[in-house]
Chains A and B, each alone.
Chain A
Amino acid sequence: MDFSARLAPLLDADILRFLAGGLGLTLAVALGTIVLSLLGGTVLAIGRLSSFRPVSLAAAGYIETIRSLPSFLVLIYVYFAVYRAALDLGTLGAVVLGLTVYHSAKTAEVVRAGIQSIDRGQVEAARSLGLGFMQTLWSIVLPQAFRRMLPPLVSELILCIKNTSIGSIVGLNELLRRGTIVYQQYFNPIETLALIALVYWGLCFGLSVLARRLEATGAQQAERARLATQEI
């Protein structure tokens, strides 16, 4: 088949709309996952910082175990668990849950670093003004920590977008799966996969520029942090 015949389907409005729908689902899954992971990660981080040993050990155990497993395995495990438990979440819900289980553990470390970066004097001042523990955390520590957490959270979102592509393996109709449907129909895998790679690239590159802009003020701290950890 010649090149133009292989490229033509990718210029067809209906096919592009089909792929755009997949992109929408990819974005929805990634955003839903990162929001839920921020909630789960905050609970886990507070748990890990708790002075009550059983809670901090349980949180640390969860975080370290999940962080040491492939996201693919975690997703498959949760997907089957949801299926076996006869929970009616649908493929979309199961994938979001699976990715949330994975990304919560990683977001927890971002939140913990954010909380620990806040000067202890802030907590002492708030407590001496009569604020309770939860109130200090919620209205003094977390708002300040959140601003410092933003750049690494955007990086985590990039990773999350890349991981949504694994959802295609369990049949989630996101961008990559729709791409495979297209190229199996038109026998143009190279062209279709290249187009899809470019779409993912545009999304992730745009976000990485945003992350760098957010950390422009603390560029040196960011550079130092990059020496220590880089999530891949």
Chain B
Amino acid sequence: MTGAQAWPSLSFLLEGFRLTIWLTFLCAACSLPLGAVVGIARSTPVLALRAAGTAYVEFFRNVPPLILLFFFYFGLPGVGVTVEGFTCGVIALTLYTAAFVAESVRAGIAAVDRGQVEAARSLGFGYLGALRYVVFPQAVAMVLPALGNITIGIVKNTALVATIGVADLMHQGEVLESRTFATFSTFTTVALFYLALIIPMSLGVNALDRRRRRMA
């Protein structure tokens, strides 16, 4: 690739990069609340909620995300439901990721001292009130670095949507490679884009983790 050709290629990859960021944002925005709900369900004394939460977590984190993606993209049309590739990506990655978010939230809730709950209850908080104002905020603060790592995982997993033709960074890289045959320069540039996104996130997570350790 000469310098003059390189610029259109970079803007081509940049389009994919923007879609990767947008997809990551949507998946995080959906999987964090869903995972929090499932994690809370697993922490309640209500047996049915706990069973449902456990079933959710144990199913979705033990299935390859690529299969979930294929299930929605190739499977649903088999019964007459067609879902756009991008939407399939959001749904599949959200379902997968929420299982890990739920595990972290559950671990965080379990790590909050029982005395906190007892103190809140004796101050007149109901069960939900104690959860909402006392336990959950502390649990989230504790697992914030873990949630950061999960978000990094989302970025990495979004690359899978390239397999169903969604024009993300990985897909744009594959298209560019097949047009130019500049295999190494193309995929190295794609890798640099991913690093440009993930390394700052990792540094942020490390900073959060150090802060958490100081507080603990």
* CB atoms of B150 and A72 under 8 A apart: no
Residues on A with C-beta less than 8 A from B74 are: 180, 183, 189, 193
* Contacting pair B150 A176 (CB below 8 A): no
Q: Number of B residues whose C-beta is below 8 Å from A?
A: 59
Q: How big is the A interface, by class?
A: 35 or more
Stretch at the interface among A111-119, A129-137, A197-205: A197-205
A162, A189, A204: the one within 8 Å of B78 (CB): A189
Q: Is the beta-carbon distance between B77 and A200 smaller than 8 angstroms?
A: no
Interface residue A208 (Cβ < 8 Å from any Cβ of B): yes
- B183 near A: Cβ within 8 Å? yes
Q: Assuming A169-B163, A189-B77, is B156 touching A204 (CB within 8 A)?
A: no
Q: Is B104 an interface residue (CB 8 A)?
A: yes
Please count the residue pairs between chain A and chain B whose beta carbons lie under 8 angstroms apart in the complex.
147
CB B21 to nearest CB in A, in angstroms, measures 14
Chain A residues lying within 8 Å of B100, measured Cβ to Cβ, are 230, 232
> Given the complex of chains A and B, what is the CA–CA distance between A166 and B156 in angstroms?
13
Q: When the two chains form their complex, are residues A77 and B62 in contact, meaning their CB atoms are under 8 A apart?
A: no
- Asked if A166 and B67 sit within 8 Å, CB to CB, the answer is no
* Given known contacts A70-B194, A76-B174, A201-B62, A81 and B159 CB-to-CB distance under 8 angstroms: no
Name the CB-closest residue of A to B155.
Answer: A70
Determine the chain B residues whose CB is within 8 A of the CB of A197 once the complex forms: 63, 67-68, 71
The verdict on A216 contacting chain B, using a C-beta distance below 8 Å, is no
Residue from the list B64, B68, B77, B191 in contact with A77, Cβ < 8 A:
B191
Which segment, of A16-24, A45-53, A139-147, A220-228, faces chain B?
A220-228
| Residue in B63, B97, B146, B160 whose beta carbon sits within 8 Å of that of A72 in the complex | B160
Task: Across the interface, name the chain A residue whose C-beta is closest to B139.
Answer: A227
- Whole-angstrom distance from the CB of A229 to the nearest CB of chain B? 6
CB-defined A-B contacts under 8 Å, sample of 15: A6-B78, A69-B198, A72-B163, A73-B187, A165-B66, A166-B66, A176-B64, A190-B79, A194-B71, A197-B63, A200-B62, A227-B145, A230-B150, A232-B97, A232-B154
Q: B residues bordering A, Cβ < 8 Å?
A: 58-59, 61-68, 70-71, 74-79, 96-97, 100, 103-104, 107-108, 110-111, 142-143, 145-146, 149-150, 152-160, 162-163, 170, 173-174, 177, 183-184, 187, 190-191, 194-195, 198-199, 202, 209
